[in-house]
A and B are shown apart, each in its own frame.
Chain A
Amino acid sequence: MSTAEERHPTEDLPAYALGALDEAERIAVAAHLETCDQCAHDLAQFEAALYEAAAVGAVRADPPRDLRTRIVLQHRGARVVRASDWGARVREWFARPVPLAVPLALAVLLVVSFVAVGTARREADTYSQALAGVADGRVVALGPQKNAPAEARGALVIPRSGDPYLVLKLSSPPTGKTWEAWVIKGQRPTAAGLSASGGVFTIVLSAPIDAGDVVAVTLEPAAGSSAPTADPVLAGGT
């Protein structure tokens, strides 16, 4: 009987550490490593050397300042879910959003940042009007998701009285498309409003929202959808 001890893939371990073996070779080595502590030990040392060298070869570059915050907030209270189908992707929204309750002053700063890049005064007015009722309400930032357009921003405003609404900065949707808001309770998304606007604009949520709900925005056909047909561009938890 051929045992793991008799056929150590010693010569293939460096390439395995590099991920440079062809698939059949990789599978064979991986199977061996399951049962051979000596080869696993050798592999660990090859990997240690490789990544030490790689760390020195890394580019001198600062990651975005908010990357740490996004990573932490993404996982604070998150459930770990694998997205494999639509339903799972909806659940994934609970794991991916960046819930960030921001004070009003910061929300105002967000407005400034929205409009400080040369957009029209009209957009500033729109956002100012949107914030007019927030004095004693809450503002929750919506996090850009994987397929979000560049510089996509959004905030959920929950005034003490009146309907909650979204303040969004998104490019104009392509012809035949619209931005659609969703309120997700548990795993069930409910359509909550449409807008074909671009720039800074608002969507008043037509669906009730409660603590723990997730709000998301997707790009949908112009007439809107009864259920999301695309991954969210923005999402956030309440």
Chain B
Amino acid sequence: MLVERIAGGDAEALGELYDRYGRVAFGMLYRMLPSPEAAEEVAQDAFHAVWQRAGSYRSDRAAVRTWLLAICRNAAIDWRRTRGKREESEVTIDAAAELLSDSKVDERVVEALRAERVRTAVAELPAEQRDVLSLAFWGGYSQSEIAARTNTPLGTVKSRVRLGLTKLRERLVDER
């Protein structure tokens, strides 16, 4: 298994992981960060984190792609908090409402990821639920921060997060 090989110190396996998911990981980071250079830097950091954490990966908890993208996203949020100015993410926040259903998608990735089904599921979410999910995911904001920034009661934000992601789960994830 690929991650086991990485955990065993096989750098070529890390390259194979990059071959499979590097492009979508970079595309996600590019969306979250202010420049392609930042995305490149964080991608390299994230794959280094993969290298370090491969031994603790649990296949019963997450698919490899999910695990990798989560590491990438966390690395991007960390970069923004430590090296990037928070203000730089304002553009992301302003545009966040449309991000999940944005048309700037990679068709090659889309095809492999059941994109049409995903697009439909996202499009069918009420706009206010899609907005809070996008703000949290791409903007890296907590529910409290979203409530403050959008002048929305915290309970309402929590409800929208819960309902929105629950619907996505119902429509995108097959019960195991």
In the assembled complex, A162 has its CB within 8 A of some CB on chain B: no
In the assembled complex, B12 has its CB within 8 A of some CB on chain A: yes
A58: contacting residue among B28, B114, B121, CB under 8 A: B28
In the assembled complex, B57 has its CB within 8 A of some CB on chain A: no
B26: contacting residue among A17, A18, A61, CB under 8 A: A61
Asked if A51 and B161 make an inter-chain contact with CB atoms under 8 angstroms apart, the answer reads no
Interface of B is mostly: helix
Q: A56-B110, A68-B18 are in contact. Are A74 and B44 (CB under 8 A)?
A: yes
Shortest distance from the beta carbon of B53 to any chain A beta carbon, whole Å = 10
Residues of B within 8 A of A (CB-CB), count: 74
The digit string for B32-74, where 1 denotes a CB below 8 A from any CB of A, is: 0000100111011001100110000000111101100110011
Chain A positions within 8 Å of B66 at CB level: 44, 47-48, 51-52
Chain A positions within 8 Å of B140 at CB level: 19
Chain A positions within 8 Å of B65 at CB level: 51, 55
Chain B positions within 8 Å of A48 at CB level: 62-63, 66, 169, 172-173
Asked if A63 and B43 make an inter-chain contact with CB atoms under 8 angstroms apart, the answer reads yes
Which residues of B from 2 to 20 have beta carbons under 8 Å from A?
11-12, 14-15, 18-19
Residue of B nearest to A43 (CB): B61
Asked if B41 and A15 make an inter-chain contact with CB atoms under 8 angstroms apart, the answer reads no
B62: contacting residue among A44, A62, A71, CB under 8 A: A44
In the assembled complex, A88 has its CB within 8 A of some CB on chain B: no
Asked if A15 and B162 make an inter-chain contact with CB atoms under 8 angstroms apart, the answer reads yes
Chain A positions within 8 Å of B158 at CB level: 11, 15
A54 to B162 CA separation, bound complex (whole angstroms): 17
The digit string for A74-111, where 1 denotes a CB below 8 A from any CB of B, is: 11111010000000000000010000000000000000
Chain B positions within 8 Å of A62 at CB level: 23, 26
Q: A18-B137, A50-B168, A58-B28 are in contact. List 16 more A-B contacts (CB 8 A).
A: A14-B166, A17-B165, A19-B74, A46-B166, A54-B28, A54-B73, A55-B65, A56-B115, A57-B101, A57-B138, A59-B28, A61-B39, A71-B43, A71-B48, A74-B11, A95-B48
Q: What are the nearest 9 A-B pairs in CB distance?
A: A58-B27, A14-B165, A63-B26, A20-B136, A75-B11, A76-B11, A49-B168, A72-B15, A18-B136
Binding site for B on A (CB under 8 A): 11, 14-15, 17-22, 40-41, 43-64, 67-68, 70-78, 80, 95, 146
Name 30 interchain pairs, CB-CB below 8 A, sorted by A: A11-B162, A15-B161, A17-B165, A18-B161, A19-B136, A20-B141, A40-B61, A43-B61, A46-B169, A47-B62, A49-B172, A51-B70, A52-B118, A53-B168, A55-B69, A56-B115, A56-B118, A56-B119, A56-B122, A57-B31, A57-B100, A57-B102, A58-B31, A63-B26, A64-B40, A71-B47, A72-B14, A80-B52, A95-B48, A146-B41
Binding site for A on B (CB under 8 A): 11-12, 14-15, 18-19, 22-24, 26-28, 30-31, 36, 39-41, 43-44, 47-48, 51-52, 60-63, 65-66, 69-70, 73-74, 77, 99-102, 104-107, 109-110, 113-115, 118-119, 121-122, 133, 136-138, 140-144, 146, 158, 161-162, 164-166, 168-169, 171-173, 176
